[in-house]
Amino acid sequence: MHKARTNPINLFAMHGALILYTIIALFPVFVILINSFKTRKAIFREPLALPDADTFSLIGYQTVMKQGDFFLYFQNSLIVTVASLFFVLLFGAMAAFALAEYRFKGNLWMGLYLALGIMIPIRIGTVAILEMMVATGLVNTLWALILVYTAQGLPLAVFILSEFMRQVSDDLKNAGRIDGLSEYTIFFRLVLPLVRPAMATVAVFNMIPIWNDLWFPLILAPAEETKTLTLGSQVFIGQFVTDWNAVLSALSMAILPVLILYVIFSRQLIRGITSGAVK
Amino acid sequence: MTALSLTNVCKSFGPVEVLKDINLDVEDGEFVVFVGPSGCGKSTLLRVIAGLEDATSGEINIAGEQVNTTPPAKRGIAMVFQSYALYPHLTVRGNMALALKQAKVAKDEIEARVQEASRMLDLGAYLDRRPSELSGGQRQRVAIGRAIVRQPKLFLFDEPLSNLDAALRMNTRIEIANLHRQLSASMIYVTHDQTEAMTLADKIVVLRDGRVEQIGSPMELYNDPANQFVAGFLGAPSMNFLPAARVTDGDPRTLGIRPEDITLSAEGQLKGRVTHVEHLGGDTNLIVDADGLTLTVRLFGQSNVAVDETIGLGFAPEKAYYFDAEGQRVR
Ligand SMILES: Nc1ncnc2c1ncn2[C@@H]1O[C@H](COP(=O)(O)OP(=O)(O)OP(=O)(O)O)[C@@H](O)[C@H]1O
Ligand SMILES: [Mg+2]
């Protein structure tokens, strides 16, 4: 055991700092949650007070349920996020494996080219993307969003994952080759489980921006049946009147699935770190 | 029949030539050891034989068949890696069975071979454990078992013992020797530990900078080295080299004499001051400074020579080896 870890003062300071950080980080979420259960007047009179018998109200949630098809938005957001993450991880890991594992002409340049996307925001190409989506008839489909988010997430995914794949033992992959495993089996069964922490990191990094994005849903899929949650919630924010009850309620509900996904990925993260690898 | 024959094998990584014109035959049932300093290309040669790297040029024959373009799994070889390289998600049984499953061997045949291998290696109690629940020595035995069940024509070992501690290393070394006797299979074994090389090998291949320096039985190499490099590489402590002029006036060659061939004698050819004494119980090593030349002397049994003593050193002239300026042996 480390000496520093058993020293009670250090232990106290460490936990104190972490608890303080947690409070600061969670405070906005907490404020949103409590205010979503209050009447409009109460929200403005005492924004930090907990809802009590007088101020408690579900009016926000009722508005959200009545207004538009909230569950459809919810479902759209979930489909887009999960599908985009799936493709980012799948294609990102495959490209990373090829870059890390195989020697071919232009390997280095290919790696740099794929990493270049990290520095160039995809929104610069919005007009071209829109033209492309119109030409292919994908406007107002969820596929438009999934494709764009996959493209947006790939550079960082390839960059991070190829770094991790280089660290996977060559001997292990070679043992698989000698035992007659195909390159696909080596990739899916031997290498992917060992880079699971990196995959979880990539997933978490990509998840939030996709879930919260307003730009592409607004441009590529604004139709009623393809609206995402973020876009759907915008109806409550007007130029002159904003229905704060509804906005806060919608936000509260939007937090939930991200939280669940995060818990799943962070589990993977910890399990990946603690599982024994080669030696 | 020859288990393996390499003809003019070369390997380059881009502009770097790692293997240069390797020619080698391994007979059936032979135990061949590759030795050489770090970075000389031992692992690369083994990987070329296994098919994990393509040879840049040259021909590789395993059991009479040209295998240059055959994938590793179809070459009839099995390889044991330095880092064990066990599949972390499979049990010991799964690790050993995987290659056979891939080759579509019948279930009961697989089970029989796994049982046989685990009996030979004492792994019966661990068959259902995962690699992470085994000790280093057990993992190494599983890695060897994984090679045995495939019944390969040729075993390849890449420094299999270098992650084990000294005692375990000796045990496993003996186990590998026994295994070789029982299976009477052809084996190639890479190491840079010369004790392993001397004790295990039927034939030693000494490599340097991607070139074969000499091939022969351990005693041939020890008694009759072809050049200064081989002479210095085999034998511990290693051979002493000195300008022959120190013994015979005007001789331009280099003289080599093994530490165990030097004796203490007042009227010997050399004189020197003892700078260090190593007592090993069974024998004693003296480090002697002879006018700026450091010599190692190995005395059998225990000796009471003390540091700073001046001693005379002698050797029988027929025990001396001579090398020219390029390091080639002069006979
Ligand atoms: N993939 C590669 N690309 C470029 N050079 C390589 C590659 N693999 C090995 N080399 C070079 O080839 C040379 C021989 O390497 P190799 O691993 O065969 O040495 P070795 O004899 O096994 O050494 P050690 O005893 O340290 O294991 C080294 O100089 C190494 O830098
Ligand atoms: Mg090596």
Q: Which CATH number belongs to the domain containing residue B290 in this structure?
A: 2.40.50.140
Grade residue A2 by pLDDT with cuts at 50, 70 and 90.
low
Residues B210 and B96 in one domain: yes
Q: Which pLDDT belongs to residue A263?
A: 85
Name the residue with tokens 């690898």. A277
**Ligand 1 mutation target, pool B40, B162, B163, B189, most atoms within 8 A of CB:** B40
Whether B281 contacts chain A with CB within 8 A: no
Whether B153 contacts chain A with CB within 8 A: no
Residues B160 and B267 in one domain: no
Residues B200 and B278 in one domain: no
* Two structure tokens written together for B241: 């080299």
Q: Which pLDDT belongs to residue A272?
A: 53
Chain B environment of A275 (Cβ under 8 Å): 88, 132
Q: Which pLDDT belongs to residue B32?
A: 96
Q: Which pLDDT belongs to residue A271?
A: 62
**Maximum CA extent, chain A:** 73
Whether B151 contacts chain A with CB within 8 A: no
Q: Give the percent of chain A with pLDDT over 90.
A: 42
Residues B220 and B288 in one domain: no
* Two structure tokens written together for A93: 């890991």
Ranges of residues in chain B with a pLDDT under 50 are: none
What strand order describes the sheet that includes B65-66? B16-27, B2-13, B57-62, B65-66
Chain B environment of A194 (Cβ under 8 Å): 88
Q: Which pLDDT belongs to residue A276?
A: 46
Name the nearest CA neighbour of A81 among A153, A156, A157.
A153
Q: Output the pTM of the full model.
A: 0.82
3-class DSSP state of B29: coil
CB atoms within 10 A of CB B291: 9
CB atoms within 10 A of CB A210: 25
Average pLDDT over residues A169-194: 93
Residues B131 and B266 in one domain: no
Beta strands in chain A, from DSSP E residues, in sequence order: none
**What sign has the CA pseudo-torsion B106, B112, B116, B122?**
positive
- A51: cis peptide before it, omega within 30°? no
Q: Which pLDDT belongs to residue A261?
A: 82
Name the residue with tokens 């019944």. B151
C-alpha–C-alpha distance, residues B211 and B29, integer Å:
24
The beta-carbon neighbor of B84 closest among A178, A179, A278 is A278
Q: Are B10 and B181 in contact (CB under 8 A)?
A: no
Residues B317 and B175 in one domain: no
Name the nearest CA neighbour of B277 among B296, B257, B292, B256.
B296
pLDDT, tens digit (0-9, with 9 covering 90-100), for A89-126: 999 999 999 999 998 888 899 999 988 888 888 999 99
Residues B93 and B242 in one domain: no
Chain B environment of A101 (Cβ under 8 Å): none
Residues B255 and B205 in one domain: no
If one counts the domains in chain B, the total is 2
* Two structure tokens written together for B238: 């290693």
Residues B213 and B245 in one domain: no
C-alpha–C-alpha distance, residues B209 and B54, integer Å:
19
Residues B152 and B23 in one domain: yes
How far CA A148 is from CA of A73, A114, A205, in Å, comes to 18, 15, 16
Residue B237's φ and ψ, nearest 5 degrees, are -60, 160
Q: Residue B24 Cα, ligand 1 centroid: separation in angstroms?
A: 20
Q: Which pLDDT belongs to residue A3?
A: 53
Task: Report the CATH number that the domain containing residue B195 is assigned in CATH.
Answer: 3.40.50.300
C-alpha–C-alpha distance, residues A203 and A161, integer Å:
11
**Maximum CA extent, chain B:** 75
| B102:A181 CB<8 A | yes
C-alpha–C-alpha distance, residues A50 and A56, integer Å:
9
Q: Are A76 and A220 in contact (CB under 8 A)?
A: no
In chain A, residues under CATH classification 1.10.3720.10 are 68-239
Residues B194 and B254 in one domain: no
Instruction: Fill in the amino acid letter for B235.
Output: G
**Could you tell me which CATH number the domain at A68-239 has?**
1.10.3720.10
Q: Which pLDDT belongs to residue A224?
A: 87
**In terms of residue numbers, what domain contains B97?**
2-231
Q: Which of B183, B198, B231 is the endpoint of a domain?
A: B231
* Two structure tokens written together for B226: 């072809």
**Shortest CA distance from B52: residue in chain A:** A174
Q: Which of B231, B259, B281 is the endpoint of a domain?
A: B231
| A174:B103 CB<8 A | no
The separation between CA A36 and the C-alpha centre of its own chain, rounded to angstroms, equals 24
The beta-carbon neighbor of B85 closest among A172, A193, A275 is A172
Whether B85 contacts chain A with CB within 8 A: yes
C-alpha–C-alpha distance, residues B89 and B129, integer Å:
10
Chain A environment of B84 (Cβ under 8 Å): 171, 278-279
Q: Complex ipTM, two decimals?
A: 0.85
Name the nearest CA neighbour of B235 among B281, B190, B198, B267.
B198
Q: Which pLDDT belongs to residue A1?
A: 46
pLDDT, tens digit (0-9, with 9 covering 90-100), for B129-184: 999 999 888 999 999 999 999 999 999 999 998 888 888 888 889 989 999 999 88
HSE-up of residue A67 (Cα within 13 Å, Cβ side): 19
**Ligand 1 mutation target, pool B11, B42, B156, most atoms within 8 A of CB:** B42
H/E element, B33: strand B31-35
Q: Which pLDDT belongs to residue A278?
A: 43
Residues B210 and B64 in one domain: yes
Burial class (CB in 10 A: 0-12, 13-18, 19+), A1: exposed
| B98:A179 CB<8 A | yes
